[in-house]
Structure 1
C-alpha cells in the first residue's frame, strides 16, 4: 500500500508542478493601469527610403487622413490620401501634405519628387480627385521646410507655386463647403 500511496503522491506533485508552470507562462489578462500591450510590429527608423522600408516609413507617419495608396519608383514618392469627413478639414489635408514634404525632403535624402493626391471620402475609384500636389527637392530650402510646421493653408499663391498645387473643380466645391 505504501507503494501505491507514494506513486499517487508523486503523480499529484507532478500534476500541481505542471499546473504551476503553466500558470507562470500565461500572460496576464488585464494590463496594469497606464501600461499598454506591446505592438507586434514596431516601425523602423527610416534613414533612406527603399521599397523594403516604405511600409515602416508610412506607418510611423502621423497623418490625419487615411492613406489609400503609396508608391515608390525611381526616387519619386507617390501618396494618395482620402480626406476624412468632418471638422478640421482642410487644415488636416494641408498638415498632412506638409508632413509628407518634411519627411521627403528633410528626413530622407533620396526622395527627389513628391506627388500627393487627395481624394474625397471613400476610395480612389469612388471619391473624386480634390487636390494634387507635385513638389521637387530642388524647390526647398531648409528655412522653407521649417515653415511647413506652421502650415495652415496651401491655397495662397506662395505655397501654391511651391507645391505646384492643382485644385480640381470638385476640390474647389469641397473647399467651399468645408469653409462654411
Structure 2
C-alpha cells in the first residue's frame, strides 16, 4: 500500500514537472504575442509624408529629430510656420542652424507642396519665452539642398542668409555671447 502511494506521488510529480517544462517552452511565444500587441496598440505611427496637409502635419514632424523643442507648427496655403524653443543657458546658435537645416530639408526636399517656411526661435527661461530670431525662406531660395551639408564655420553657416534671419536685440546678444566663447 505504501508502494502504491509512493507510485502515485511520483506520477503526480512527473506530471507537474512535465507541465512546467511545456509551459516554460511556451514563454517565448507568449512574449512575442505581447510585444506584437504593444506595437499594434501604439497610439501614433508616423508615416512618410510627401505632400503636407492639415491632417498630415503631425506625421511630417513625428520623425524629425529636432534638438530644440517644437512649440507650434502651422500650415496655411503652402506656407509652413514653425516655432521652436531653445534653452537660453544651454542652447547655442549651432543648434538653431542644425535644426533650421533639418526644417529646410523637410520643407523643400521631402515635401512637394511647401512654398515658404517661416521660422521663429524663442529662448525659454524661467517659464517665459523671448523671441531671439525669425526667418523667412522660400523654395526658390533652395535650388540645391547640398549646401546644407557644408560644415559650420563661425557662428553661422554660409547658407544662413537664405533664411533671411532677423535677430532681435536679445537674440543678437545671445548670438554674440556664444561667438565669444
Mapped pair 1:135 → 2:137: yes
Q: Which has the higher strand share?
A: 2
5+ unaligned residues in a row in structure 1: which ranges? Answer: 1-18, 32-36
Moved more, 102-111 or 37-46: 37-46
Provide, for residues 106-128 of structure 1, a one-character-per-residue CA deviation record: whole Å limited to 9, x for no partner: 111100000010000259x8211
Counterpart secondary structure, 1:91: helix
Structure 1 residue 42 displacement after superposition: 2.4
Q: 1:164: which partner in 2? A: 164
| CA RMSD after TM alignment | 3.5
**Which one of the candidate residues 97, 105, 110 is aligned to 2:113?**
110
The number of residues matched between the two structures is 162
5+ unaligned residues in a row in structure 2: which ranges? Answer: 1-22
Q: 1:10: which partner in 2? A: none
Structure 1 residue 85 displacement after superposition: 4.2
Q: Distance in 2 between matches of 1:175 and 1:66?
A: 19
Which structure has the larger Rg? 2
Q: Does the aligned pair in 2 maintain the 1:94–1:151 contact within 8 Å?
A: no
